[in-house]
Amino acid sequence: MTHFHAGENKSGSQHHGGGAFPLLALIALALSGFITILTEALPAGLLSQIAEGLSVSQTAAGQMVTAYAIGSLLAAIPLTRATQGWRRRPLLTLAIAGFALANLVTAFSPSYILTMAARFIAGVSAGLLWALLAGYAARMVPDAQKGRAIAVAMAGTPLALSVGVPTATFLGTFVGWRTCFASISVAAALLMIWVATRLPDFPGQTTEDKKSLMSVGKLPGVASILFVTLTFVLAHNLLYTYIVPLLHRADMQSTVDIILLIFGCCSLASIWLVGIAIDRRMRALAIIACGLFITSVLMFGLWPASRTATYLAVGLWGLAFGGAATIFQTAIARAAPRQTDLAQSMLVTAWNLAIAGGGLMGGVLLESGGVSTFPPAVLALLIPCGLVIFADRRSAFKSRL
């Protein structure tokens, strides 16, 4: 593995001074994200097995996802602030250790209460890890490669959703849900060793670089990026959480696995395309992502019973969403170059609020007006989102030419 030498750029963050693009180190970060998403989403795929194993209802078992989200939501900002001065490699190793421990406890837990506690701890680890990843990736490379580095580090998310979760769910039907969680724990432990021994280390923030949450929020572009993230991800989760009733209008509810595979493959293509262009065309990518998403939602709304339109809409949606995390995280890293980790923790919080809000908002819409209300509601989120991207051209979503 390449040896890294820290050097200072003009923003004050350290980066890899020269040599090859640090692909192996960035893959380790991507695997961290992969384990995070796998830990978060796996209970949904193995719900009936978990419910039976813990002698609870499927609704109660489903709260494993809720406990995880609450842990992440509550921990991201305070934990990131508390550890601002810590060196980055030990802190990342500690966050991954949280997953190794939480998944191990989940695998062997005899009680529902202990399982929920373990899921909360996993969520806490996720809140810290997501706040670290983009900043860590950005510090490994010069300014001109930051977007590409973040894209590689973020690749674990769509990979986990499109390949990891379906594969683990499939295996879980043969080896059991406890074996799946134990396997993730072992994978996290091995990743800890990789990170602790092979990744470059960076210092935490000095006292003079530390800022309050309010002052970071007032930095040019930060509020706009947080608003765009919240509305875009809220729109996504409203549709994604209730994908089955959405597909019902085209009588496609039995093909949900194929639909999610198409979404996942298009998401992977998106993150690859975004990674190529983000350092030069970030604002254009943000506009395209929002435009593709709006087009997708219009297709869901105008041709609800058409299978062809549904397949195409899902493909466009995947292209819109896949690279979104990379775009938003790169944008906020550029808007807050000296407070990247704290700014990222704010982004993580906005993202988790959107996840929770999507489920709640979708449930209210489904009960009150049915699934036909989804497209106009999502458009009501995406149009302001697009307008903010267009309007804030100076400070948010800046491209480095």
How would DSSP label each residue in 133-149?
A: HHHHHHHTS-GGGHHHH
> Domain end: 167, 188, 205, which one?
205
243 and 104 within one domain: no
Domain shared by 180 and 246, yes or no: no
Query: Which residue range forms the structural domain that includes residue 297?
Result: 213-391
Q: Contact, 333 vs 150, CB < 8 A?
A: yes
CA distances from 287 to 40, 74, 385, 387 (A): 29, 31, 10, 9
Sites in the chain below the pLDDT cut of 50: 1-14, 16-18, 401
Same domain? 66 vs 168: yes
The pLDDT of residue 209 is 58
Domain shared by 243 and 187, yes or no? no
Q: Which of 154, 184, 205 is the last residue of a domain?
A: 205
Report if residue 11 sits inside a domain: no
- CA dist 5 and 304 (Å) reads 55
pLDDT for position 15: 52
Give the pLDDT of residue 54.
94
Rounded to whole angstroms, the Cα distance separating 64 from 107 reads 13
| Residue 397 included in any domain | no
| Residue 14, domain member (yes or no) | no
In a domain, 6, yes or no: no
The pLDDT score that the predictor gives to residue 166 is 76
Question: Which residue type occupies 361?
Answer: M
CA distance 266 to 137: 24
Co-location of 384 and 235 in the same domain = yes
Q: What is the pLDDT of residue 245?
A: 83
Clarify whether residues 264 and 189 are in a common domain. Answer: no
- In a domain? residue 98: yes
Q: Are residues 195 and 249 in the same domain?
A: no
Report CA-CA distances (Å) from 37 to 123, 144, 165. Answer: 10, 28, 8
**b/e 31-65 (16+ beta carbons within 10 angstroms → b):** bbbbbbbbbbbbbebbbebbbebbebeeeebebbb
Q: Are 27 and 38 in contact (CB under 8 A)?
A: no
- In this structure, the answer to whether residues 197 and 220 fall within a common structural domain is no
228 and 377 fall within a common domain: yes
Q: Which of 397, 33, 55 is nearest to 222 (CA)?
A: 397
Those residues with Cβ within 8 angstroms of residue 325's Cβ, 6 or more apart along the chain or in another chain:
154, 157, 351
* Within a domain: 348: yes
The CATH number that applies at residue 67 is 1.20.1250.20
* Number of separate domains in the chain: 2
Three-state SS for 85? coil
| 344 within a domain of the structure (yes/no) | yes
Sign of CA dihedral 8, 9, 12, 15: negative
Residue 156 · residue 34 · CB < 8 Å: yes
pLDDT, tens digit (0-9, with 9 covering 90-100), for 184-214: 999 999 999 999 999 999 988 765 556 677 7
- Domain-ending residue, one of 157, 184, 205: 205
Q: Maximum distance among all alpha carbons in the chain?
A: 59
- If asked whether residues 349 and 201 sit together in one domain, one would say no
Residues 153 and 279 in one domain: no
- Are 260 and 321 contained in the same domain? yes
pLDDT at site 3 = 32
pLDDT digits (tens, 9 = 90+) for 373-397: 999 999 999 999 999 998 887 788 8
Is residue 302 in a domain?
yes
